[in-house]
Structure 1
Amino acid sequence: MSETIERVSVNYKNLSQKFSEQTSDYNKQYCGIYLARLKEMETLLRKRIEIKWGDRHPIIKLHKLAEEQYDKCVVIAMLFKDQKLKPSILKQLAEATKLTPQPILHHFTDDSDQLFIEDELQRYQLLGTLNGKNLVTGIACALLGTDMGKGKFMVEDYVFAGYRPQVEIPLFSEDIFVIFLSGLDFVNHQNFIPNLELCIHWLSGMLGDDETVSRIARIIIAGNSMRTKAEKQKLTMMMTSRIVESQDSIESVKTFDYFLLQLCQLVDVDVMPGENDPSNHILPQKPMHYCMFPQSAVYKSLNQVPNPYFCSLDELKIFGTSGQPVRDIMRFSEVTDPLDALEYCLKWNHLAPSAPDTLGCFPYYDKDPFIIDDCPHVLFAGNQTEFSTRIVTGQF
């Protein structure tokens, strides 16, 4: 009889409470989230200003620039990227009513794009050294430069909030593994049934490799488990769209539930919703409801978690999304590598800077939950074209 091998155990904490506590009040305007973001980021940016430029230049509010003349000054504001190709509801209505046909685009940058800075009272067009190709709307920054008059600001230098302080990576006495899965697309599960069976057999130790399998502490499923492409919407007489729940979608949930049932008997599993999963569409996405998974929900090893998701395993902090913020950054900038987009998020100290401009989110008023309060040891994004990793070091 073969020797029984126990799976490694770690101390798990779910740190995603701020992504699960959003209210259902949609009466507020979205400007509130920008004001909250700017207010919180201003504290961080002032520290960066002191480190980089000291007290050599005054820090001026945008609406005060025209009142006094400064050779050089520093302003703290939000970036706004004016893009003529950016989708809008007016363009969509024009296309729907066949007034003006719109080209189908998946990337919305153009040579005519312009950068502006704005705060709660004023907006200025930016000139100078700040290259907007790799930037998106919603980034808080500090700019050193000169007011050129007529609503234009010449940028000489700039700084972003940068990486937050990171606690030292905990030391582990042995290797511990976390499996990341995404884009399982169970609506087409018949195409990869052998792969699913092979995965279960490997995790159970039936294929050998006991040394590695026993050190797998957790599986994080990062969205789009039901389908990777949205169902086609049917336009109604009111020019609104609706999706009738198809039998394929119902069957995909049942099949996914059975897959989770097998996983949860072997290891702890965290299930995040994705863009095309049965959850709310805008960020943060609430955990998918347990009633959809009657077989696997009886196991304590199944954890329905929100998107974004933040957790710690023996004090190792893991933070990430199902991929929507990374995709949106790449659509509205010249960033082509998802790893670059993730690294920029750390430099900007914001997980989803393009929300709510081009990425849907709740209309937060007092606080922006997407600001990175604790620098994670692992930052991930699901549903990318290929698996890739990078080690980055926080720099000023």
Structure 2
Amino acid sequence: MTTDHIMREVSDKPPTYDKQDDYTLPPGKRLYMDQYNDIYKSRAKILKSRVMKMASSKWRNETINEVKAKYVNKLLDVKNLTPSYVIGTVFVDMKYKPNILKEVSGNIYEAPEFEDESQYSELDRTRIDSYSDPSSDQVMLEDDSGRLLLDGELLDKVVLVTGVVVGVLGMVVEAGIFTIVDIVYPEPGPQKPLPEAKDENILFISGLRISPTSDRAPLEILKEFIMGEISSGVDNVAEMLEKTTNLIILGNSIEVVDDPHKNLKGKDKYSEINKSNYDSESLKMLDRWISDLLVSIPVTILPGETDPAEIEFPKPPLHRSLFYHSSRRSNFERLSNPAWLEINGVRILATSGENVNDIFKYLIPNIHVEIGDGIDSPLRKEVLHDSRLKLLESTILWQNVAPTAPDTMCCYPYSGEDPFSLTETPHVYVVGNQPKFETSILEVKLKNDQVARVSIICVPDFSETGQCVMMNTNGLECKQFRVA
């Protein structure tokens, strides 16, 4: 171990850039009198024309049973046994999905209560808050005219959740049921040319989950690793760390600690579910930890689900008063969640993972459903047991990073806009607080048959895995490091 930290170069990070404030709401301009249906209207307005471009291009000469498919503008105008393609917003009716009317009237969730999480396996704990009962779930498409129930084998091969705008090809075989054989997504937003970036690295971390009762050793080891004082046993790690010019913390930096002295009334379900995330000692520990790192590397932090931030999406930046020491340094940056970043010309879209975690609940059976029921779908099996990459890739295909807001994910009631719908395709899409490290390159077609490549990155929860992820800004290659 050495006592000198690594001397690093400064990356090309512009002080201002477009999309910098896409998810930032000025405190004085937050209005809550608007209805949430404005978001759906804005989303459809933004994405329907882009879906139409893809649908007309792909299905212009498509036939089913040797009959040419025709575009139908309104869902309820679709005729029986007539090949058609339609565009609308997906709605998924699920047995265990939260129901606001029942919450208000009975102050409960639709899913049955359970007493103790410790009685469940790690796999079953992921299913406690799931919305799905595959035997009764229904996928529908809706527009201003009404709804059509969707059916077909294709539904087991694609990810569809409430709020996604898509086009589907098929026909009504039974009354009110549209059997689909193909699907298209919105035309991707343009992607800025990827410059020949410097050979530098960005380090991503999520899920520090600092609390007065947590083990501090992993944090100290991580800090020493970032500052170059210890090696992880990987060849050339010192050289890679020297080229690491930015540290980005993707939320869940603070752990929620139950206060045993706080008495809740028996019927106070809201306070029981929405526990206070504020703990002054945890914040002081986080502030000191970041402040120590700032002498060696710039740090950017996003708020997460367990951090002292608003519950709604997008989450505003953590308040500067929470970082007494760190806020005094110019290389400390607090961003919203989600957030756009630009480093060495690489456009990065980052979230702390709440959006993907909510989408996950649409794909896996609730704890009160037998695990074998309806899990003959390869897609559900893959998401439940192996990989969440399909969920991240789907958000890029949908051109919406939080389609389930506001239905099952709390968000700000935007009026006349839907900032979650993408108008630009990022070079990198990184999501924190995932079960394990995963990465892929997703290729999506743009105008004139051009192809945009998006680097998809799942950053694991550090408190659970002891891992962080390093990405090179030149080739967008990723590596994981287990440091604790």
Q: TM-score range, shorter-chain basis?
A: 0.7 to 0.9
Asked whether the equivalents of residues 18 and 369 of structure 1 are also in contact (C-alpha less than 8 Å), the reply is: yes
Give CA deviations for 1:195-245 in whole Å, capped at 9, x if unaligned: 333333333333475422221111110111011688799644774633786
Asked whether the equivalents of residues 225 and 274 of structure 1 are also in contact (C-alpha less than 8 Å), the reply is: yes
The answer on 1:297 being equivalent to 2:321 is: no
1:258 CA displacement: 0.4
Q: Call closer, same or farther: CA 1:85–1:244 in 2, change over 3 Å.
A: closer
Q: Call closer, same or farther: CA 1:3–1:344 in 2, change over 3 Å.
A: closer
The answer on 1:117 being equivalent to 2:141 is: yes
1:24 CA displacement: 2.0
Residue in structure 2 matched with residue 144 of structure 1 by the alignment: 169
Residue in structure 2 matched with residue 390 of structure 1 by the alignment: 440
Give CA deviations for 1:272-318 in whole Å, capped at 9, x if unaligned: 00011111111000001001111110001110100001111121111
In structure 2, C-alpha distance between the alignment counterparts of 1:355 and 1:332, rounded to whole Å = 13
**1:77-92 matched pairs, under 5 angstroms:** 77-92=88-103
Residue in structure 2 matched with residue 159 of structure 1 by the alignment: 184
Residue in structure 2 matched with residue 217 of structure 1 by the alignment: 245
In structure 2, C-alpha distance between the alignment counterparts of 1:62 and 1:231, rounded to whole Å = 54
In structure 2, C-alpha distance between the alignment counterparts of 1:284 and 1:331, rounded to whole Å = 19
1:126 CA displacement: 1.7
**Long gaps (5+) in structure 2:** 62-67, 115-127, 232-236, 364-379, 447-484
The answer on 1:364 being equivalent to 2:365 is: no
In structure 2, C-alpha distance between the alignment counterparts of 1:225 and 1:338, rounded to whole Å = 22
Asked whether the equivalents of residues 95 and 101 of structure 1 are also in contact (C-alpha less than 8 Å), the reply is: no
**1:125-140 matched pairs, under 5 angstroms:** 125-131=149-155, 134-140=159-165
Deviation larger for 21-30 or 291-300: 21-30
**1:18 pairs with one of 13, 22, 28:** 22
The answer on 1:346 being equivalent to 2:396 is: yes
Asked whether the equivalents of residues 229 and 276 of structure 1 are also in contact (C-alpha less than 8 Å), the reply is: no
Q: Call closer, same or farther: CA 1:136–1:235 in 2, change over 3 Å.
A: farther
Give CA deviations for 1:23-49 in whole Å, capped at 9, x if unaligned: 422212111111111111112111101
Asked whether the equivalents of residues 65 and 147 of structure 1 are also in contact (C-alpha less than 8 Å), the reply is: no
Q: Call closer, same or farther: CA 1:59–1:262 in 2, change over 3 Å.
A: same
Q: Call closer, same or farther: CA 1:341–1:326 in 2, change over 3 Å.
A: same
Residue in structure 2 matched with residue 7 of structure 1 by the alignment: 8
In structure 2, C-alpha distance between the alignment counterparts of 1:244 and 1:160, rounded to whole Å = 38
**2:112 pairs with one of 92, 102, 127:** 102
Structure 1 letter corresponding to 2:94: Q
In structure 1, C-alpha distance between the alignment counterparts of 2:4 and 2:303, rounded to whole Å = 38
Q: Call closer, same or farther: CA 1:4–1:75 in 2, change over 3 Å.
A: closer
Residue in structure 2 matched with residue 376 of structure 1 by the alignment: 426
In structure 2, C-alpha distance between the alignment counterparts of 1:173 and 1:77, rounded to whole Å = 43
In structure 1, C-alpha distance between the alignment counterparts of 2:315 and 2:185, rounded to whole Å = 27
Structure 2 letter corresponding to 1:159: V
Asked whether the equivalents of residues 74 and 86 of structure 2 are also in contact (C-alpha less than 8 Å), the reply is: yes
Asked whether the equivalents of residues 107 and 331 of structure 1 are also in contact (C-alpha less than 8 Å), the reply is: yes
Residue in structure 2 matched with residue 62 of structure 1 by the alignment: 74
1:155 CA displacement: 2.2
In structure 2, C-alpha distance between the alignment counterparts of 1:51 and 1:203, rounded to whole Å = 49
Structure 2 letter corresponding to 1:152: I
**1:34 pairs with one of 37, 40, 49:** 40
Give CA deviations for 1:37-70 in whole Å, capped at 9, x if unaligned: 111111211110122112664432225606x778
Asked whether the equivalents of residues 343 and 392 of structure 1 are also in contact (C-alpha less than 8 Å), the reply is: yes
1:267 CA displacement: 1.1
In structure 2, C-alpha distance between the alignment counterparts of 1:231 and 1:39, rounded to whole Å = 46
Residue in structure 1 matched with residue 299 of structure 2 by the alignment: 269
Asked whether the equivalents of residues 53 and 187 of structure 2 are also in contact (C-alpha less than 8 Å), the reply is: no
Asked whether the equivalents of residues 208 and 254 of structure 2 are also in contact (C-alpha less than 8 Å), the reply is: yes
Asked whether the equivalents of residues 234 and 241 of structure 1 are also in contact (C-alpha less than 8 Å), the reply is: no
- Tell me how large the CA RMSD over aligned residues is: 3.1
Give CA deviations for 1:228-272 in whole Å, capped at 9, x if unaligned: 6887996447746337868x8110001001011111121111110
In structure 2, C-alpha distance between the alignment counterparts of 1:148 and 1:268, rounded to whole Å = 59
Asked whether the equivalents of residues 142 and 159 of structure 1 are also in contact (C-alpha less than 8 Å), the reply is: yes
Tell me how many residue pairs correspond in the alignment. 390
Question: Could you say what secondary structure the match of 2:355 adopts?
Answer: helix
Question: Could you say what secondary structure the match of 2:171 adopts?
Answer: strand
Asked whether the equivalents of residues 310 and 317 of structure 1 are also in contact (C-alpha less than 8 Å), the reply is: yes
Deviation larger for 13-22 or 117-126: 13-22
In structure 2, C-alpha distance between the alignment counterparts of 1:258 and 1:386, rounded to whole Å = 27
Structure 1 letter corresponding to 2:247: I
**2:227 pairs with one of 181, 195, 204:** 204
In structure 2, C-alpha distance between the alignment counterparts of 1:101 and 1:126, rounded to whole Å = 25
Asked whether the equivalents of residues 126 and 155 of structure 1 are also in contact (C-alpha less than 8 Å), the reply is: yes
Residue in structure 1 matched with residue 270 of structure 2 by the alignment: 241
Structure 2 letter corresponding to 1:331: K
Question: Could you say what secondary structure the match of 1:179 adopts?
Answer: strand
In structure 2, C-alpha distance between the alignment counterparts of 1:343 and 1:184, rounded to whole Å = 25
1:171 CA displacement: 1.6
Structure 1 letter corresponding to 2:164: I
The answer on 1:53 being equivalent to 2:65 is: no
Structure 1 letter corresponding to 2:141: I
Asked whether the equivalents of residues 271 and 305 of structure 1 are also in contact (C-alpha less than 8 Å), the reply is: yes
Asked whether the equivalents of residues 32 and 366 of structure 1 are also in contact (C-alpha less than 8 Å), the reply is: yes
Asked whether the equivalents of residues 209 and 252 of structure 2 are also in contact (C-alpha less than 8 Å), the reply is: yes
**Long gaps (5+) in structure 1:** none
**1:149-188 matched pairs, under 5 angstroms:** 150-161=175-186, 163-174=188-199, 176-188=200-212
Q: Percent identity?
A: 28
Structure 2 letter corresponding to 1:102: P
Q: Call closer, same or farther: CA 1:299–1:63 in 2, change over 3 Å.
A: same
In structure 2, C-alpha distance between the alignment counterparts of 1:356 and 1:130, rounded to whole Å = 26
